[in-house]
């Protein structure tokens, strides 16, 4: 079965981005020209997906408004690009009733997903080139759940879901276990889940069986751990760029790095940084 649907959870509080996120969703925080979630929707689109479900919640209405077709009097190339995508894509919304964790948020996608494999893209993460496209390619080969991972420095393992796995071919690993935000001592590797997944619909039964874990929340990683006892699961080592917009330092770094690469402002930003003599 082909991957035709994407689910984007965008329901988390964004506490690591306060006070920026006091009255706006963290997914609407700008990175150079666009809010983060626009990059995520575009990634799904450029990976061939045309049906997208965004899981929102309290205080997240700006996300829905952002994906309305614009009736602005002035033309803007980034708005036009989005409008063109919106011509081809159907975006659905559902609201998580209570913030009970990422696993609980994904549960709301059950009827949208039905019995198909689907792409899951966390709404506060940007990847270049589109990681989802590479994951779908890998899924078509292995036909089972596959999760994108990246190597992180040891001191950062406690920020992410970490996988224990063994390499079976270039960049592809068979998952043996998964741990949500382990301490440095407990971490089975330094391969971190980066926020892009292709999952089979069996994940929903696993979420229903998942008890609250880290931070007393229903963790997706714990549900994946159950799924791993029922079907083979793979990790795909993503070699591209991944920006975590969920914390301030990484968000600032993403802005600088992406601005430097940008065709419109890159040259001037480079000159500006040089002129600062840092």
Q: Which residues bind to ligand G1P, rule: CB under 6 A?
A: 12, 102, 122, 125, 160-161, 180, 192-195, 219-221, 244, 246
For the bound state, the minimum distance from the C-beta of residue 160 to ligand G1P, rounded and expressed in Å, comes to 3
Q: Residue 216 and residue 235: Cα distance in Å, rounded?
A: 26
Q: Residue 249 and residue 264: Cα distance in Å, rounded?
A: 24
For the bound state, the minimum distance from the C-beta of residue 64 to ligand G1P, rounded and expressed in Å, comes to 21
- Which of 85, 224 has the CB closer to ligand G1P? 224
Tracing tokens 């997914």 back to the chain, one arrives at 27
For the bound state, the minimum distance from the C-beta of residue 34 to ligand G1P, rounded and expressed in Å, comes to 19
- Which of 82, 120 has the CB closer to ligand G1P? 120
Residue of this chain nearest to ligand G1P (CB atom): 161
Q: For residue 210, give the DSSP letter.
A: P
Q: Residue 39 and residue 130: Cα distance in Å, rounded?
A: 10
- Which of 194, 259 has the CB closer to ligand G1P? 194
For the bound state, the minimum distance from the C-beta of residue 272 to ligand G1P, rounded and expressed in Å, comes to 30
- Which of 240, 267 has the CB closer to ligand G1P? 240
For the bound state, the minimum distance from the C-beta of residue 181 to ligand G1P, rounded and expressed in Å, comes to 7
For the bound state, the minimum distance from the C-beta of residue 79 to ligand G1P, rounded and expressed in Å, comes to 28
- Which of 35, 123 has the CB closer to ligand G1P? 123
Three-state DSSP state, 194: strand
State the DSSP H helix or E strand holding residue 65, giving kind and residue range, or none if neither: helix 61-66
CB 241 within 8 A of CB 253: no
What is the CA angle 54-129-264, rounded to 5?
95
- Which of 85, 197 has the CB closer to ligand G1P? 197
| Cα 45 → chain centroid | 14
Q: Please list the residues that pair with 172 across neighbouring strands.
A: 169, 236
Q: Residue 43 and residue 180: Cα distance in Å, rounded?
A: 25
């Amino acid at each position: 079965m082909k991957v035709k649907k994407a689910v984007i959870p965008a329901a988390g509080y964004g506490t690591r981005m306060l006070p920026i996120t006091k009255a706006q969703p963290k997914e609407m925080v700008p990175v150079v020209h666009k809010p983060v979630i626009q990059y995520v929707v575009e990634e799904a689109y450029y990976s061939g997906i045309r049906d997208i479900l965004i899981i929102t919640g309290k205080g997240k209405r700006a996300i829905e408004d952002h994906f309305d077709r614009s009736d602005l009097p002035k033309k803007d190339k980034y708005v036009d690009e989005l409008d063109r995508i919106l011509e081809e894509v159907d975006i659905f919304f559902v609201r998580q009733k209570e913030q009970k964790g990422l696993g609980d948020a994904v549960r709301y996608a059950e009827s949208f997903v039905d019995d198909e494999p689907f792409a899951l893209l966390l709404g506060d993460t940007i990847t270049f080139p589109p990681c989802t496209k590479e994951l779908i390619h890998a899924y078509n080969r292995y036909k089972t759940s596959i999760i994108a991972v990246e190597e992180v420095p040891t001191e950062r393992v406690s920020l992410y879901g970490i996988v224990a796995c063994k390499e079976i071919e270039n960049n592809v690993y068979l998952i043996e276990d998964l741990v949500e935000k382990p301490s440095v001592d407990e971490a089975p590797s330094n391969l971190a889940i980066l926020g892009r997944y292709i999952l089979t619909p069996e994940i929903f039964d696993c979420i229903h069986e998942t008890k609250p874990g880290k931070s007393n929340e229903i963790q997706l990683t714990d549900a994946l751990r159950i799924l791993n006892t029922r079907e083979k699961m793979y990790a795909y080592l993503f070699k591209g760029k991944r920006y975590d917009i969920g914390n301030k330092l990484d968000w600032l770094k993403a802005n600088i790095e992406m601005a430097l690469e940008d065709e419109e402002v890159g040259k001037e930003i480079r000159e500006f940084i040089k002129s600062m003599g840092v």
